[in-house]
Amino acid sequence: MNAEVRLTLDLDHLNLQEALQEWAWLLGPKPYSVIAVSAFGDWFLEDENGPIHMVDVSAADFRLVADSMPAFERSLRTMEGRNEFLFAAFVEHMVIECKMLLGPGQCYSFKHPLYLGGDVDGDNVYVADFLICNKLNSTLWEQVKDVPDGAEVQIKIM
C-alpha cells in the first residue's frame, strides 16, 4: 500500500487565525500560536509562556498537554504520545484498512461525536472539509458544553 498516513494537516493554504476564531468562546482573550492540527481536526496551540494546549474536538476537551515545545516533541516521538495526541493507530487504520484518504483542506470527523456517545470506529468516521468541520464542531460543542453527562440531547439539522 502506497497511501501516505498523515497525522497532521497541511495548513499552508488555510487561514488559521480565522479558523481559530471559531474557538474564541473557549480560548478567551489569551493569544495562542498554532503548532499543528491533527488529522481529526484537533488543535495544538502554544500560549505566550510556552506551554502547549490541545483543543480535542473529538472528546470536547481543552487541556494542557506539555509544559514546553521540546516536551511536546519528545512525547510525539513515542508511539504512546502519537496515539494519545494524534490518534496515530486509528488514522493508520482509516488509511490502510478503510481506504479513507485526506485531500487538501480535509480532515477526519466522527459522524456521531464521541462526547455525545459516538464510538471510535471506522463506520463512525467520514472525510470532511476542515473549515466546515471546525465550525460545526465548535458550534456543537459550545451548545452542549453545559449539558450534564448522560443527559439526552436532540440535534436538529436545518
One digit per residue, pLDDT tens: the chain, 158 residues?
A: 446 889 999 878 888 888 999 999 999 999 999 999 999 999 999 999 999 999 999 888 899 999 999 999 999 999 999 999 999 999 999 999 999 999 999 999 999 888 888 899 999 999 999 999 999 999 988 888 887 777 777 766 65
Structural domain includes residue 97 = yes
Whole-number Å distance between alpha carbons of 58 and 34: 18
pLDDT at 90: 96
Residue-level pLDDT at 1: 43
Q: Give the pLDDT score at 28.
A: 92
What's the domain range around 86?
Answer: 16-144
Residue 6 lies in a domain: no
In a domain, 111, yes or no: yes
The pLDDT, as a whole number, for residue 12 is: 82
Helices 79-86 and 69-76 pack at an angle, to 10 degrees, of 110
Q: Establish if 3 belongs to a structural domain.
A: no
Instruction: Tell whether 38 is covered by a domain.
Output: yes
Torsion angle defined by CA atoms of residues 130, 135, 136 and 141, in that order, rounded to the nearest 10 degrees: 120
Q: Could you tell me if residue 120 is inside a domain?
A: yes
Residue 150 lies in a domain: no
For residue 15, what pLDDT is reported?
Answer: 85
H or E element in which residue 144 lies: helix 130-144
In a domain, 85, yes or no: yes
Count up the domains in the chain and report the number.
1
Closest CA to 118 of 58, 158, 61: 58
Q: 16, 70, 24, 65: which is closest to 44 by C-alpha?
A: 65
Residue 65 three-state SS = strand
